[in-house]
Amino acid sequence: MMKMETDKIMDETNSNAQPFTSTMLYDPVRKKESSPTFQVERETCLTYFSQWNEADQVDFVEQLLSRMCHYQHGHIDAFLKPMLQRDFISLLPKKGLDHIAENILAYLDADSLKAAELVCKEWLRVISEGMLWKKLIERKVRTDSLWRGLAERRGWIQYLFKPRPGTTHRPHSFYRALFPKIMNDIESIENNWRTGRHMLRRINCRSENSKGVYCLQYDDVKIVSGLRDNTIKVWDRTDLQCVKTLTGHTGSVLCLQYDDKVIISGSSDSTVRVWDVNSGEMVNTLIHHCEAVLHLRFNNGMMVTCSKDRSIAVWDMTSPSEITLRRVLVGHRAAVNVVDFDEKYIVSASGDRTIKVWSTSSCEFVRTLNGHKRGIACLQYRDRLVVSGSSDNSIR
């Protein structure tokens, strides 16, 4: 058994004073060699201890600790700390659970992941073999529009997610080096916005009949614009020259959207027209609205259009030439200026100062959002958040 050593300090000048006891902190240097008797008794105790069940062993240790003083507790604490520490990231692979270690570290942000690489060789191996820098970049691209745009414009999106048939992913070192390059790129872009550094290039759309541009969309190759002269013009992004002019509308082109197959446009002639994005050939004309088509959106085989006639039309798109009217949504008391939708809701905004929400699957009315004091001119809906702008000079 361990014997506690204390130094008793008496004030010899005052025999009536109470004894004063001071407990000295543990000092390993002051530890005396164990006596033969202690060694024998210790072995006897350990023999008994090993014969007890776990519950009795814990009870005995608790009783033992309760009889120790503070400095002994400090020594026991220092002795136990290394035993209680568990490097679970290094231990999991030894149990065949590499995937769990990877999933845990995959929650780290960039700074934490960088620090984790320095912990030990085993952590670095888990991060490398788990391709965690690649997964971090993919998570950013999925959740941040700036990252998504950079991935597409810079071309490194081809190295993310599932590889194309016949190709393999780059090694971990590629993604480890790519991440800081992306961060430098983002910082440079943000600095340019803050300081106003930019290169202005101008496309002259003026013609004998053209008096304005009402809508546009662009990518890395082209700019597609809808003009007041009833045409859609496609411009080359490199030299800004017009490469195609699509004619067919008999009124101003007020809205458009395109993907890799079609351009779909809405006009003040009340029609929606579908064009082949590569050839520029008109492949379909949709006649439903009785006044100007002010806005449209399409995605995943579905299209929504809205009009000055106060109605919203929901269309099913089987192919560019097979587009059928599914449902007409009526409820606004003025022109419907803008629509947006996802897999759950269709959201529409109108000159009647309201935003209406409809079910995407059933097309049933869900609710009306009030708040603006004048007509609503623009709206965006994403991730259950609706942001609207109005002629009342407010954004809600």
Contact 341, 312 (CB under 8 A): no
- In whole angstroms, what is the distance from residue 169 CA to residue 160 CA? 8
Tell me the DSSP string of 309-342.
Answer: TSEEEEEEEEETTEEEEEEEEE--SS-EEEEEE-
pLDDT at 26: 47
The pLDDT of residue 15 is: 43
Q: What local confidence, expressed as pLDDT, does residue 40 receive?
A: 87
**Are 298 and 292 within 8 A, CB to CB?**
no
Tell me the mean pLDDT per 10 residues along the chain, length 396.
40 43 47 78 91 93 91 87 77 80 89 92 90 94 90 89 81 94 93 85 73 89 93 92 94 95 96 95 96 96 96 96 95 96 95 96 96 95 92 95
Task: Supply the pLDDT for residue 93.
Answer: 81
d(CA 131, CA 372): 49
Where are any strands of DSSP class E within the chain?
A: 7-9, 20-22, 213-218, 222-227, 232-236, 242-246, 253-258, 262-267, 271-276, 282-287, 293-299, 302-307, 311-319, 322-330, 336-341, 345-350, 355-359, 365-369, 376-382, 385-390
The two most distant CA atoms of the chain are separated, in Å, by 118
Q: Mutual orientation of helices 121-129 and 132-143 as an angle, nearest 10°?
A: 50
Domains and CATH numbers, the chain: 88-161+170-191 (1.20.1280.50), 213-395 (2.130.10.10)
Give the model's pLDDT for residue 104. Answer: 87
Question: Which pLDDT value is given to residue 32?
Answer: 61
Angle, CA 130 vertex, CA 128 and CA 132 arms, to 5°: 75
Q: What is the pLDDT of residue 250?
A: 95
Which pLDDT does position 111 carry in this prediction?
A: 94
| pLDDT tens-place string over residues 283-338 | 999 999 999 999 999 999 999 999 999 999 999 999 999 999 999 999 999 999 99
Per-residue pLDDT at 360: 95
Task: Determine the pLDDT at residue 22.
Answer: 42
- Closest by CA to 293, choosing from 333, 330, 253, 234, is 253
The DSSP symbol for 34 reads P
Distance of CA 309 to the CA centre of its chain: 39
